[in-house]
Amino acid sequence: MTNFTIHSRTLSVIPIVGPGGIGKTTFAQYLYNDKTIEAHFSIKVWVCVSTHFDVVKLTQEILKCIYHAENEGSRRVDELSNLDQLQITIAQRLKSKRFLLVLDDMWKCGSEAEWGSLLAPFSKGDAKGSMVLVTTRFPSIAQMVKTTKPIELQGLGDSEFFTFFEECIFGHDKPEYYEDNIIARKISKKLKGFPLAAKSVGRLLKNHISQEPLGIIDSGSHKNRAEDIGLKYLDKLEGNGFLVKKVDDRTGRQYYVMHDLLHELAQNISSQECINISSYDFRSDNIPWSIRHVSITLQDNYEDSFEREMENLKRKIDIGNLRTLMLFGEGNASMLILIKDLLKETKRLRVLFMHTNSLQSFPHNFSKLIHLRYLKLEIPYDVELSLPNAVSRFYHLKFLDLGYSKCILPKDINHLVNLCLLNARKELCSNIPGIGKMKYLQRLEGYHVKKRDIGFELSELGDLTDLGGELKIFNLEKVATREEANKAKLMSKRNMEKLVLAWGMVQRTTRSDVLEGLQPPSNLKALVIKNPGGSIGPSWLCGNICVNYLKSLHIEGVSWGILPPFGQLMQLEELTLNNIPSTRRFGPNFGGVTQKSFSHLKKVEFVDMPELVEWVGGAHVICFQRLQASGVKIVPISLCCLCHPMHKT
């Protein structure tokens, strides 16, 4: 492939063609991630085309990827809708660079003129050897876009396919003999050499052979939250090949994708209840009355026939009984009027996902959507919008997703007593007064104690027993007594994984018992303590350790006479000590060190500890055997560690 492009003066377009599930995308990914390919091309771009070929949208997505490849973020590409300006920008960016563009899963292209329009900015560069890979299941598409012979993928041969099929069933633990060998071979032949079929059916057959019963949906999980059970099923679907987990390079967020073959299957199975309207050729003729879940991808421009079909949709389905309505994109003015008119008749919506940039864009009957369980509002980042007061009366609401918008919450948002997740900016969540009323809340990344403001006492955290993930508590200098600290009931928050306890530097307390009352749950994974004041550390950390599962510990700005026995934290992987000026030496009898101590420790860092000179493990003790990184800052140059060589920075 690299040799081919070196000798090519013009842009090369190579189609990879084959039926669904044959491995076109996997093959393209293999090429895309190859180190030789990576060194050969200055810029690589991957865009999924799918069923809707829109030159402007695809050009926008390609430009986003180019910005990301050059570490410039996505900028505000969505605001550029002028095709000429988009293409000029791309041509300038790629003028002297050899690039690889992958257009994955192309189903259609209106005409050769549209295809030529998409390729226009890529044909103007000075660098030789740039390439476009197109994956498609349609030979007609391959013939239209090719500049060289297409790569045609076919099923694996019987022998190779059965070897792969066995790998999908057993992994690396294939038994010497298993009774279902003959059955597996018969099934293998019916799969016609398709890798996707081998992966999906193989995982299901694995469950049959191992005779692991699936059981009732919540069997043995009555203590788990519904979300935890759901995540387990997502993992199972991923393991069976029905879903693939991806990570967005720009945001780092995880998401799932589904192979187009399985997506078609899912659409067919759910066709009596679900409909996805996302293309110009939508027809309402065969839409069943039983539809309950609707998603619509809004575009900037529509033909008159599409709007007529949308009008007909209101008569084809039972709008009043819709359970789900998801609106992707902004749409033009006439389409938004039609959508708002559609929403007038909805009475029993459970899920609503929509774009909004003003109060006027909300449905007329928004305040009547009292059955909502899930509400996601996509609000432009630069728009400051006050949410309607009606949101506070959606008492059944469990999930409210506002993204990173600058919206303003209603004052009585704490009336949402059934809310489980509030996805919003940290400062928005941490400024909800009386948040303790929302006792089912599962995530609250930051909480600021404010003694002068009613509703911001530490005791507000007491009833939030479902809190999970990370919790940061600031301004703890405003907490005066252990009794007040006890009211936070941190020990009861069994789903919490990381806890940050931070005191301010201005009004530092000299009391030690406040931290004693902030004992976390025993299964906590990460703990950060900053500037607590007092001369004695808490007994749950410095005495009889009650957080034995800690993997990360950060202690900063303490004046404790005795530091925690780090050697007893057998699961510890990261240790950071910062601004502890009085500590001189960690000796062999310090910290409860045994032969198993620090066996998992991978990273250790000492910062601003001017008196520290030595850490000695003791005879016959091999510490830090897994240490991968160590840092020492602002300490005497003579610091030594006899357990493991430490690098000074």
β-strand pairing of 496-502 with 526-530: parallel
pLDDT at 554: 96
* Number of structural domains the chain divides into: 1
pLDDT at 593: 67
Do the beta carbons of residue 604 and residue 625 sit within 8 Å?
Answer: no
Q: Which residue has the higher pLDDT, 376 or 533?
A: 376
Whether residue 401 is predicted with pLDDT greater than 70 in this model: the reply is: yes
Query: Who contacts 173 (Cβ-Cβ below 8 Å, separation ≥6)?
Result: none
Whether residue 637 is predicted with pLDDT greater than 70 in this model: the reply is: no
What is the distance between the alpha carbons of residues 420 and 445, in angstroms, rounded to a whole number?
14
Do the beta carbons of residue 311 and residue 338 sit within 8 Å?
Answer: yes
Q: Which residue has the higher pLDDT, 178 or 61?
A: 61
Domain assignment present for 95: yes
What is the residue range of 101's domain? Answer: 2-152
Span of 150-164, 459-473, 526-540 with lowest mean pLDDT: 150-164
pLDDT-derived band at 476, boundaries 50, 70, 90: very high
Query: Who contacts 121 (Cβ-Cβ below 8 Å, separation ≥6)?
Result: 59, 86, 87, 88, 90, 91, 94
Give the pLDDT mean for 358-380. Answer: 89
> Beta-carbon neighbour count of residue 210 at 10 Å?
9
What is the distance between the alpha carbons of residues 458 and 448, in angstroms, rounded to a whole number?
8
Span of 552-556, 596-600, 618-622 with lowest mean pLDDT: 618-622
Give the pLDDT mean for 10-28. Answer: 87
Residue 17: its H or E element:
strand 12-17
pLDDT at 216: 38
495: left (phi over 0), alpha (psi -120 to 50) or beta: alpha
For 619-635, the pLDDT digits (tens) are: 555 556 666 655 555 54
Q: Which residue has the higher pLDDT, 212 or 46?
A: 46
Span of 348-362, 502-516, 517-531 with lowest mean pLDDT: 502-516
pLDDT-derived band at 174, boundaries 50, 70, 90: low
Domain assignment present for 19: yes
Query: Who contacts 157 (Cβ-Cβ below 8 Å, separation ≥6)?
Result: 193
Span of 38-47, 203-212, 331-340, 425-434 with lowest mean pLDDT: 203-212
For 148-165, the pLDDT digits (tens) are: 889 998 888 888 888 888
Read off the CATH number of the domain in which 16 is found. Answer: 3.40.50.300
Domain assignment present for 44: yes
Q: Which residue has the higher pLDDT, 159 or 142?
A: 142
Question: CB-side exposure of 1: number of CA atoms within 13 Å?
Answer: 23
Nearest Cα to 420, choosing from 489, 495, 348, 328? Answer: 495
Domain assignment present for 73: yes
Share of the chain above pLDDT 70, in %: 83
Give the pLDDT mean for 485-510. Answer: 88
Domain assignment present for 431: no
Q: For the chain, how are helix, strand and coil distributed in percent, rounded to 5?
A: 30, 20, 50
Q: Which residue has the higher pLDDT, 223 or 396?
A: 396
pLDDT at 218: 42
For 300-334, the pLDDT digits (tens) are: 666 677 778 888 888 888 888 999 999 988 777 77
Question: What are residue 512's DSSP bridge partners?
Answer: none
Alpha helices in 133-194 (DSSP H): 139-145, 158-170, 181-190
Give the pLDDT mean for 353-367. Answer: 86
Domain assignment present for 360: no
Q: Which residue has the higher pLDDT, 261 or 321?
A: 321
What is the distance between the alpha carbons of residues 227 and 442, in angstroms, rounded to a whole number?
10
Domain assignment present for 644: no
Do the beta carbons of residue 567 and residue 598 sit within 8 Å?
Answer: yes
pLDDT at 280: 63
Give the pLDDT mean for 555-565. Answer: 88
Give the chain's radius of gyration (CA, Å). 30
pLDDT at 518: 96
Do the beta carbons of residue 196 and residue 261 sit within 8 Å?
Answer: yes
Nearest Cα to 28, choosing from 56, 1, 63? Answer: 1
Domain assignment present for 146: yes
pLDDT at 618: 52
For 23-43, the pLDDT digits (tens) are: 899 899 999 998 888 888 989
Long-range contacts from 390-399, C-beta under 8 angstroms, 24+ separation: 390/366, 391/416, 392/416, 393/367, 394/369, 394/370, 395/370, 396/370, 396/371, 396/372, 397/372, 397/373, 398/373, 398/374, 398/440, 399/373, 399/374, 399/375, 399/423
> CA separation (Å) from 458 to 493, 544, 557?
14, 26, 22
pLDDT at 189: 80
Question: By three-state DSSP, how is residue 245 classified?
Answer: strand
pLDDT at 127: 81
Q: How many residues are listed for the chain in this entry?
A: 649
Q: Mean pLDDT across the chain, nearest whole number?
A: 82
What is the distance between the alpha carbons of residues 46 and 101, in angstroms, rounded to a whole number?
6
Question: By three-state DSSP, how is residue 598 classified?
Answer: coil
pLDDT at 629: 55
pLDDT at 640: 47
Query: Who contacts 212 (Cβ-Cβ below 8 Å, separation ≥6)?
Result: none
pLDDT at 639: 46
What is the distance between the alpha carbons of residues 2 and 40, in angstroms, rounded to a whole number?
7
Which amino acid, one-letter code, is at 618? G
For 78-112, the pLDDT digits (tens) are: 667 788 888 888 888 888 888 999 999 998 887 88
CA 92 to chain centre: 33
Task: Please indicate, yes or no, whether the overall pTM of this predicted structure exceeds 0.75.
Answer: no
Beta strand extents in 330-476 (DSSP E only):
351-355, 374-378, 399-401, 421-423, 446-448, 469-474
